[in-house]
């Protein structure tokens, strides 16, 4: 069966979100003198994953994730984070500059670019994802990029795929 359009997710399909997240989180925790232990990194990851799952289920709005993840993280590890919004802004700035490719991603895109339209579909934050596409080189292969912010719907809603 031949496909004429491939809809690809960015994170954990083409780019390693986990590696980028770990890098950005470690940098932010170091700045705030919070130990970047495996336990702390795992705690943050669990909280963040839970919030993104809530987004996909329609239980939370996207803009709230950044507002509450560091607040919940601080409570979970017993550290008062006085300005979780600022901490999130710093985290997002580092994430914006972190685009760690999954092994074979570019080679895969090179193999299919002449045979199929490539569309990137992501729930990630628009400014972060667009910069990560640019610095990773993945953006050069994309015929279209559809973020949940731009489309006004999040995966797995059919509206984002219809766009």
pLDDT band at 66 (very low <50, low <70, confident <90, very high): confident
pLDDT band at 109 (very low <50, low <70, confident <90, very high): very high
**Residues near 77 by Cβ (< 8 Å), separated by ≥ 6?**
34, 40, 43
| Both structure tokens of 112 | 């299919």
Q: Cα–Cα distance between 135 and 97 in angstroms, integer?
A: 8
Q: What average pLDDT score do residues 58-84 get?
A: 91
- Tens digits of per-residue pLDDT, 113-163? 998 999 999 888 888 899 999 999 999 999 999 988 888 877 777 887 777
Q: Is 48 left (phi over 0), alpha (psi -120 to 50) or beta?
A: alpha
What average pLDDT score do residues 38-65 get?
90
Counting every residue written for the chain, the total comes to 163
Residue of higher predicted confidence among 148 and 34: 34
Q: What is the pLDDT of residue 1?
A: 59
Cα angle 111, 116, 119 (rounded to 5 degrees) comes to 100
């Amino acid at each position: 069966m031949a496909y004429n359009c491939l809809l690809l997710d960015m994170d954990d399909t083409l780019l390693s979100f986990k590696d980028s997240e770990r890098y950005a989180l470690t940098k932010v925790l170091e700045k705030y003198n919070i130990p970047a232990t495996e336990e702390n990194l795992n705690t943050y990851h669990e909280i963040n994953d839970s919030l993104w799952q809530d987004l996909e289920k329609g239980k939370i709005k996207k803009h709230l994730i950044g507002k509450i993840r560091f607040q919940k993280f601080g409570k979970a590890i017993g550290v008062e984070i006085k300005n979780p919004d600022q901490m999130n802004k710093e985290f997002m700035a580092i994430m914006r500059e972190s685009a760690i490719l999954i092994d074979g991603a570019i080679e895969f895109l090179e193999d299919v670019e002449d045979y199929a339209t490539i569309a990137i579909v992501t729930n990630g934050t628009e400014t972060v994802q667009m910069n990560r596409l640019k610095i990773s080189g993945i953006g050069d292969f994309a015929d279209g990029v559809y973020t949940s912010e731009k489309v006004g719907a999040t995966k797995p809603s059919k509206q984002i795929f219809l766009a």
